[in-house]
Structure 1
């Protein structure tokens, strides 16, 4: 362990340095991390990075999914649930089927079961890669909400395919009736366990005398417990974490105080950044060992690269076809929910964009590494090394080709220029702040009118809040005005919670304002 520690510390330093370089070059950091890991992996003398396949899902997936469910806008997910659902389930199934058919037909030794196993591994696009790349281009909220919502659910559908295919390869048979029942149980049971545990955790946070550090510590272990318990009941641990995370995210104002919310934001952001960085570095570092495995099975490297390119093209084409099929179905059956565009040309370019946002990453690597080396009967798992290599090629090509060209594609086509499907951020903020001021002013006038009249401190307090400026002299803030100030902050939170029900208001703006209110409450505690 002591021998590995310098290498692990060097990995974190490398992640930070490559992220700095990525921001300077305006390139998504997963791209540089994979390339950096690839180059580092060929340095002689470095220790081999090996992770127990049985733990790969449990180490990385729960916190990454949990953090993503806290960040996504549930309001936008409800608004676009049909498109999100079709991409997260139907498109993933169609993509896995396409990979299964192509690989079983063109790759020697691949059965349809092995093809579905490979399809389940490489079918889900990576949320981290897509988010890191799209931050360099301006896209409408509807499009980003679809991509974020899809990324939360497609992991579950792909891993369900992966699990069934793994059983089919190991047993040599596949019973559709049992698979259908297992699928229903995995979905319903996983979501139900996640919601139940989330309810228990929320009440535990509310009733126990926890400080900020204890609250944050519990949130770090809760996704692991959700995932573990769901898997013990043979349900989807991914859906358990996602559903539980969404419920806890919606209740964050109820069971976490301002101190916990502020500190947990920084802790989780850093924690998830390191996890993602380690995974993408491992993707590159694993290549030498994967290539060595190919040599042991006498598979020529050039031939394996060709298989990887074939599967990558299949994935891209299948996703684009699915995107256009989803648009056609929406035009025919639900034309009212189509995102607005300035012209028919741009409307028909939208599926191409959604199809091109198919970068693979964390989940695909985790699934590939989780393939057991041997089956239950002791036999070597067939084509494991080739599947690992194809997965690596898919991740590398989608990150480099799609990741590097996506910003150019959006800019070159001018797809979103002049789109007015939603209010501008500036006007939304202005509208929200005007409403806040009026709401709080009416509250103060109604409840504290007698104290406001002729009281210089209270008048200064009201003016300070309305203008949102820092007071140069805090001597006016006594214990009585502090109580009122805290009450005013809570009134603002209630107002913003109600305002968030307006479908035209961007939930991210609401959350940013709530964060500012938390900061104001923390500042008040040190006065």
Structure 2
């Protein structure tokens, strides 16, 4: 390990350079990283990379899920909950089932159980890839919210299928009653454990005398504890991390100090940046090991099987996207849906083309044991499953990843009125905050008590003046901090108000401004 440390260090430098290049040429960085890993693996005398699946599941997956759950909008997640859960659960199950029957029919030596195993591995689209691509093009907020929400939950459903298929392959039988009970426990137990641990962290950080450094470390520990605790009792570690993270994210202003929130943002952005980069370049670097394990089937035949499964995945997702529209149009006659209008053909076509696969698929494939049981026979078709998974990841990342931005630009997605236009919402929030500030200062008779508060009053009335370098008393500082708390509370109330159409990203932007202002005031002596 230590002798290869310079190589791993150079990988981090290469990742940074490639992401800089990706931003420059406006290409999703996962595409460049996978291809670069593939090219690096072909260089003679390059150290052999053997990826430990437990390393990916335990080290990489919890923090990446936590960071994604921390940044997603709970309001949007709840608003589009029906289509998100259908994509994350129903469509994943449909995809896995279709792959199972196709593999069983067309790939020699593939039983139905092995087909379901492969289906569970390749069924979940990757969140990071879609997010990296969509940042270069403008898409409706609802679409990005649906994709983000789907990616949070589909890992759990695919890994549940994978676990049941592994049992069926190893034992040669599948008992539906036991599977139903186990499935229920994985869902209920995973969510319950995540919420419980999240609640304990929230209460502990609120009661105990922590500082910004301690709080940041605790946010890093939390997802690992949620994942490990859930997996130890055979429930879903993914759902535990997602549910616990959503609880903490939605209550961040109640238990984290301003300093903790600001420092946590910087730490988590850097951590997620490094982890995502390493994962995608390692996918490419692992190809030589995967090819060397192929036995009894030619590379060309294995590539053909991989392309067949890729085509099935794309077709199923397309049909599912249009099927979701049909179901919504029918359901609107009986229940309240988030949007009863016909979205047309454009939105489902884009959703259908966003099925890039990534880290979870590779980790699941690598976690297949080499032996059915200790001292037993080899696990059937393990190396072929690994190779097919790699072909699926590479093909969807390169083909769909490179063409999706062009597709979005060409079809001109419709504009929706889910939220107020950004400039109009910005103006409304600014005016309301100004009114709240002036009223608060007047009602508490604070304007004439301090030069600083008088300056703040004039600033928010529109007479923006350059802030002078003045000292403020402890009383004045306390009064201003209470004002900032009032502004923060108003913004949080607006975000929870379903009648308001403010984009949560915009609300968070203003909350961040308040945190920065509070941090600045706290530094004044």
TM range (shorter): over 0.9
Aligned to 2:494: 499
Q: Count matched residues.
A: 519
Alignment of 1:223-262 (within 5 A): 223-262=223-262
Q: Distance between the aligned counterparts of 2:7 and 2:361, measured in 1?
A: 24
Q: Distance between the aligned counterparts of 2:185 and 2:16, measured in 1?
A: 42
Q: Distance between the aligned counterparts of 2:226 and 2:38, measured in 1?
A: 34
Pairwise CA distance, 1:489: 0.9
Aligned to 1:479: 474
**Contact 2:194 / 2:239 at 8 angstroms: preserved in 1?**
yes
1:124–1:468 CA distance, 2 compared to 1 (3 A): farther
Aligned to 1:29: 29
Q: Distance between the aligned counterparts of 1:155 and 1:484, measured in 2?
A: 47
> Unpaired runs of 5+ in structure 1?
none
Aligned to 2:357: 360
The runs of at least 4 consecutive aligned structure 1 residues that moved more than 6 Å come to: none
**Contact 1:126 / 1:151 at 8 angstroms: preserved in 2?**
yes
Is 1:319 aligned with 2:313?
no
> Unpaired runs of 5+ in structure 2?
none
Q: Distance between the aligned counterparts of 1:251 and 1:175, measured in 2?
A: 41
Pairwise CA distance, 1:521: 1.0
Q: Distance between the aligned counterparts of 2:180 and 2:287, measured in 1?
A: 36
**Contact 2:453 / 2:476 at 8 angstroms: preserved in 1?**
yes
Q: Distance between the aligned counterparts of 2:317 and 2:369, measured in 1?
A: 29
Structure 2 counterpart SS, 1:4 = helix
1:119–1:514 CA distance, 2 compared to 1 (3 A): same
Structural RMSD (CA): 1.6
**Contact 1:57 / 1:370 at 8 angstroms: preserved in 2?**
no
Structure 1 counterpart SS, 2:240 = helix
Q: Distance between the aligned counterparts of 2:450 and 2:151, measured in 1?
A: 55
Aligned to 1:222: 222
Q: Distance between the aligned counterparts of 2:154 and 2:28, measured in 1?
A: 21
Pairwise CA distance, 1:257: 0.6
Aligned to 1:98: 98
Pairwise CA distance, 1:290: 0.6
TM-score, normalised to structure 1, is: 0.96
**Contact 2:124 / 2:155 at 8 angstroms: preserved in 1?**
yes
**Contact 2:372 / 2:378 at 8 angstroms: preserved in 1?**
yes
Pairwise CA distance, 1:415: 1.8
Pairwise CA distance, 1:496: 0.5
**Contact 1:486 / 1:521 at 8 angstroms: preserved in 2?**
yes
1:443–1:290 CA distance, 2 compared to 1 (3 A): same
1:420–1:206 CA distance, 2 compared to 1 (3 A): closer
Pairwise CA distance, 1:526: 2.4
Aligned to 1:384: 382
Pairwise CA distance, 1:175: 0.5
Pairwise CA distance, 1:333: 1.0
**Contact 2:189 / 2:230 at 8 angstroms: preserved in 1?**
yes
Pairwise CA distance, 1:463: 1.8
Mean Cα displacement is larger for which, 466-475 or 500-509?
Answer: 466-475
**Contact 2:455 / 2:467 at 8 angstroms: preserved in 1?**
no
Pairwise CA distance, 1:478: 2.6
Q: Distance between the aligned counterparts of 2:92 and 2:228, measured in 1?
A: 24
**Contact 2:121 / 2:159 at 8 angstroms: preserved in 1?**
yes
Structure 2 counterpart SS, 1:331 = helix
Pairwise CA distance, 1:461: 3.0
Alignment of 1:171-320 (within 5 A): 171-294=171-294, 297-320=295-318
Pairwise CA distance, 1:8: 1.0
Structure 2 counterpart SS, 1:436 = helix
Alignment of 1:388-403 (within 5 A): 388-403=386-401
Q: Distance between the aligned counterparts of 2:19 and 2:463, measured in 1?
A: 35
Aligned to 2:459: 464
TM-score, normalised to structure 2, is: 0.96
1:142–1:215 CA distance, 2 compared to 1 (3 A): same
1:172–1:467 CA distance, 2 compared to 1 (3 A): farther
